[in-house]
Each structure stands twice: as structure tokens, then as C-alpha cells.
């Protein structure tokens, strides 16, 4: 689901027009043309919804006092755009945020000057000495407030990504230890229950097994009246160079000087970096923290001015945000540097989750041909390891894992029958 905000105002000569869109380029040109016209649907301050084909809009119309507008009021429309339907609870949250935003603008002196970046209306109003400076300052202030609003809405309305869900699960010690306990092969559930009760007496085994099963980490099955639990997937957490380096180099060559500094910092880090189990645990805990993960999502787009990050996390007190930045700096995830007199924060390494079969299951995967080739090896690798999605999770069938589990359970069933036959013979 993609989220975009637009802020429209009524231009005295051309009518309703977009003042600001964030993030840019999410919407189609025809959508950007239609959204400001929604202003004609509302004549009193208030909230209303509308849809444009596959775009769901939640709008708030209001006015602010203005020395330069006709009737001395600027007519404004805040639109929050989603590519998927949202719940009534999220709609209510958006309404609350829009009311707060409108009240902030109404109480900000001369905020109306933000809309006149091309200069005050010529010949109609006397130009004061500080008008041009206030136009620039208020334009910057208003766009900062709009970015704040966007990230605030994203924080409570976006769907969790697959890596986020995985990190939250693996950050629980009980889940982590169960995966380790099952890593050597199938375990009778009775044995697992005794072990779990001994190590986690205050927790309920079925709750954590349900979570692990829903995320396709385990399979449970009953064979000859004996219930088994089988680990069919493991997750590996590692640091990788940020993908945004390549994207920025290709799309914004004018930032080459910045990219040179960026690349050098990233290269220096990975020259000295060594993976360790302790580091992997720390990385899981970082992604499982919602505040830290929100900052990571922002920095994946490229270096950001430090004061812009502070503006974006409007829902967090400044102290909490600084704590987050300090944690990420101490864990060597981010770094700071000055670029053209501005303090920037950059991601020197990203956190990546990949999944694969447990080692004991590898022998059950498709067998290698007698004369292995590079292509066949590559094919096997693609089937046994994949990068965890960083986009909102979708329902998918993981038939490969399920089939593999069934194959192992078939072998267990055969062994169980052999044991039964031996007992009968005795």
C-alpha cells in the first residue's frame, strides 16, 4: 500500500491547484489534476472521503486568515491518498491528525505567505520590507509540517513488512530458543513441551508455536499417534551495503560528490566488518523496535539532513529520536557528515533478512545431477535461500516448505511403523 499526501490551495487566478505533494512522483498527472478540484465539494470546514479509480482519498477542507487572499481567507485542502482501502479506525486517526494540522496552521503567524513563492499579488497590496523573507521562511516551515504529517500518518497506517514481522518474532527469546532446539531434526511434541516448560515456565507453548507456524518456520503433524514438530525454515540476519547508493548514482548524478563520500564510508565499514551471532541478535532487536525501524525506512531512500529526520518523527519526543540516532550510531548502522554546510545522516549498512532450509533438511531437497553444472547449482540456491520482503507482507503459499515437511514426516512414519513391527515380533 502506497501513501501520499497532497496539499491544495485556491489560487486567486487559476483556481484550485496543488501546493505540495509528498512523496513526489507517487501520483499520476491526471490524479494531481483531479485532486484539487475536490475543493469544490466542500464549503465548510470538515472531513470527507472520495475515490479516484484505485486511489482512496481522505480529505480535510479548512481556511486560514490571509492579508492577500480574496475575502482575506486562503481556502486549503489536505488530502491523504491510499492505494488500498483502510479501516474506519485509521480514518478516524487521520481526521484527528488533520484537525491538529489545521489548528497549527491557523495559529502560525503569516503562514499564508507560504503560498506566494512567486511573490505577493502585484499592484493590489503594499509590499512590506520583510515579505519576501517571510515567504521563503514560511514555505520551508509549511513543507516541513507536511512531511511531519506524512510520517506521522505512515507510522500508524502502514502495513508491517515481512522483515518486521520476522524480527518481532525472533526477538522473543522463547521463539529463538525453540528454533535452536529444533535445528537438529524433528522432535516429539511431548519432549518439546517438557523442555519448554523447564526453560519458560511462565509462557504458553501453544502461543509461540502458533506464531512460528503462521510464519512457516515449523510444521506440526501426528504420526502413529505421536505428534511431531519439524523446523522447515531458518532466518539469517546480516548487514549489507545500502541499495540506495546505486539508485542515487544512477538517478542523481549531480550528487556525485555526496555519493563519493557516502560510498567511502560504506566501503570503510565493510572492510572491517565481521559477522557474529551476537551481532545478528542485535540486528534483530533493532528491526523489531518500531521507532528504530521507521528511521531505517527513511534512510533507505538516501542521506537525510539531520533536522529533517527530527521533523519527520513528529510522534516521538525529540529526546526519544536522539536516543534512536545514538543507538544506530553506536551499532554502526548510521553515520553523520557535513555536506555543503548541512549535517547529514546516512545509512552505512542496511539490515537484510534471508531464509533457507535448516541444514538437516538439505539432504531432502532436489538431488544434484551426476555431473553438476553451474546452472544447476544456481537453481538449487534460488530454491533454498531467499531475501525476506521489505514491503508489506502478502499471503503466499510456501508449498516447497510444506512438501519438504511432508517428505520428512513420511520417513518418520516409516520409522515409526518399523518400531511397531519390531515390538510385535518381540
pLDDT digits (tens, 9 = 90+) for 70-85: 888 999 999 999 998 9
Using CA atoms, how far residue 130 sits from 136, 141, 143, 263, 340, in Å, is 10, 16, 20, 42, 27
Task: Find out if CATH 1.25.40 is the number for domain 3-157.
Answer: no
Q: Give the right CATH number for 236-352 from 2.160.20.10, 3.20.20.70, 1.10.10.10, 1.10.3720.10.
A: 1.10.10.10
Q: What is the pLDDT of residue 396?
A: 42
Assess contact for 181 and 192: CB atoms under 8 A: yes
- For residues 161 and 192, give the distance between their C-alpha atoms in angstroms, rounded to a whole number: 30
Lowest mean pLDDT among 77-91, 119-133, 169-183: 119-133
Contact 35, 29 (CB under 8 A): no
Residue 225: the pLDDT is 87
CA distances from 178 to 169, 208, 230 (A): 12, 9, 11
Q: What is the pTM for the complete model shown?
A: 0.60
Q: How confident is the model at residue 54 (pLDDT cuts 50, 70, 90)?
A: confident
Mean pLDDT of the chain: 81
Tens-digit pLDDT profile for residues 142-177:
998 898 888 788 877 877 888 999 999 999 999 999
Cα–Cα distances (Å) from 221 to 8, 213, 227, in that order, read: 58, 12, 6
Share of the chain above pLDDT 90, in %: 39
Q: What residues does each domain of the chain span?
A: 3-157, 162-232, 236-352
Residues 6+ apart with CB under 8 A from 153: 3, 5, 80, 93, 94, 97
Tell me whether the omega of the peptide bond preceding residue 99 falls within 30 degrees of 0, making it cis: no
Q: Do the Cβ atoms of 114 and 70 come closer than 8 Å? A: no
pLDDT score recorded for residue 370:
47
* Residue 224 φ/ψ, nearest 5 degrees: 50, 45
407 has pLDDT over 70: no
Q: Are strands 342-347 and 334-339 parallel, antiparallel or unpaired?
A: antiparallel
Higher pLDDT, 423 or 293: 293
Q: Pick the more confident residue, 155 or 212.
A: 212
Query: How would residue 19 be classed by pLDDT, with cut points 50, 70 and 90?
Result: very high
- Tell me the per-residue pLDDT of 380-394, one tens digit each, with 9 for 90 and over: 433 344 556 555 544
Which residues have C-beta within 8 Å of that of residue 415, sequence separation ≥ 6?
Answer: none
* Pairwise CA distance, residues 412 & 192, whole Å: 17
102-107-109-110 Cα dihedral, nearest 10 degrees? 30
Q: Alpha helix locations (H) across 241-358? A: 244-251, 256-272, 277-288, 290-299, 306-312, 318-330
Band of residue 298 on the pLDDT scale cut at 50, 70, 90: confident
Q: At residue 113, does pLDDT exceed 60?
A: yes
Q: Which fold has domain 162-232?
A: Arc Repressor Mutant, subunit A (1.10.10)
* Grid cell digits, residue 392: 508489506
Extract the C-alpha cell encoding 374: 553451474
Is 365 in a helix, a strand, or coil? coil
Backbone region of residue 341 per phi and psi (left: phi > 0; alpha: psi in -120 to 50; beta: other values):
left
Task: Name the residue with higher pLDDT: 269 or 419.
Answer: 269
Cβ-count burial 335-345 (b if 16+ within 10 Å, e if not): beeeeeeeebb
What's the average model confidence in pLDDT over 270-277?
A: 89
Average pLDDT over residues 349-360: 90
Q: Is the pLDDT of residue 14 over 50?
A: yes
Q: How far apart are CA 10 and CA 15, in angstroms?
A: 5
pLDDT of residue 377: 42
Stretch among 37-46, 58-67, 137-146, 160-169 having the lowest mean pLDDT: 37-46
Identify whether the C-beta of residue 111 lies closer than 8 Å to the C-beta of residue 141. Answer: yes
Q: Which is more confident, 19 or 257?
A: 19
| pLDDT at residue 276 tops 60 | yes
Amino acid at each position: 500500500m502506497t501513501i501520499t499526501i497532497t496539499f491544495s490551495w485556491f489560487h486567486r487566478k487559476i483556481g484550485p491547484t496543488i501546493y505540495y505533494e509528498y512523496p513526489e512522483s507517487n501520483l499520476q498527472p491526471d490524479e494531481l489534476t483531479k485532486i484539487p478540484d475536490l475543493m469544490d465539494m466542500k464549503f465548510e470546514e470538515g472531513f470527507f472521503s472520495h475515490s479516484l479509480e484505485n486511489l482512496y482519498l481522505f480529505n480535510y477542507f479548512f481556511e486560514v486568515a490571509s492579508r492577500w487572499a480574496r475575502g482575506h481567507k486562503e481556502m486549503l485542502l489536505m488530502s491523504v491518498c491510499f492505494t488500498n482501502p483502510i479501516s474506519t479506525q485509521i480514518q478516524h486517526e487521520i481526521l484527528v491528525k488533520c484537525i491538529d494540522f489545521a489548528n497549527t496552521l491557523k495559529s502560525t503567524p503569516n503562514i499564508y505567505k507560504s503560498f506566494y513563492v512567486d511573490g505577493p499579488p502585484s499592484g493590489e497590496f503594499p509590499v512590506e520590507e520583510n515579505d519576501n523573507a517571510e515567504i521563503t521562511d514560511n514555505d520551508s516551515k509549511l513543507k516541513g509540517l507536511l512531511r511531519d504529517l506524512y510520517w506521522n500518518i505512515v507510522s500508524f497506517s502502514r502495513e508491517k513488512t515481512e522483515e518486521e514481522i520476522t524480527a518481532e518474532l525472533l526477538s522473543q527469546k522463547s521463539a529463538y530458543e525453540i528454533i535452536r532446539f529444533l535445528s537438529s531434526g524433528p522432535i516429539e511434541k511431548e519432549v518439546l513441551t517438557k523442555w519448554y516448560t523447564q526453560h519458560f515456565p511462565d509462557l504458553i507453548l501453544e502461543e509461540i508455536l502458533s506464531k512460528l507456524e503462521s510464519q512457516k518456520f515449523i510444521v506440526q503433524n501426528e504420526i502413529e499417534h505421536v505428534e511431531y514438530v519439524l523446523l522447515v525454515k531458518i532466518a539469517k540476519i546480516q548487514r549489507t551495503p545500502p541499495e540506495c547508493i546505486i539508485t542515487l548514482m544512477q538517478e542523481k548524478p549531480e550528487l556525485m560528490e555526496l555519493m563519493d563520500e557516502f560510498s567511502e564510508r560504506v566501503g570503510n565499514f565493510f572492510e572491517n566488518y565481521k559477522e557474529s551471532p551476537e551481532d545478528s541478535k542485535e540486528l534483530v532487536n533493532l528491526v523489531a523496535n518500531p521507532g528504530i525501524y521507521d528511521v531505517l525506512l527513511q534512510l533507505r531512500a538516501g542521506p537525510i539532513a539531520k533536522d529533517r529526520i527530527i521533523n519527520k518523527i513528529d510522534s516521538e519526543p525529540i529526546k526519544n529520536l536522539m536516543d534512536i540516532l545514538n543507538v544506530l550510531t553506536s551499532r554502526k548502522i548510521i553515520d553523520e557528515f557535513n555536506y555543503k554546510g548541512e549535517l547529514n545522516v546516512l545509512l552505512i549498512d542496511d539490515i537484510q533478512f534471508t531464509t533457507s532450509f535448516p541444514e538437516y533438511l538439505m539432504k531432502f531437497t532436489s538431488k544434484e545431477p551426476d555431473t553438476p553444472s553451474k546452472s544447476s547449482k544456481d537453481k538449487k540456491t534460488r530454491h533454498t535461500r531467499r531475501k525476506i520482503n521489505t514491503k508489506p507482507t502478502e499471503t503466499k503459499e510456501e508449498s516447497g516448505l510444506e512438501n519438504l515437511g511432508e517428505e520428512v514426516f513420511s520417513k518418520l512414519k516409516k520409522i515409526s511403523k518399523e518400531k511397531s513391527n519390531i515390538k510385535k515380533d518381540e
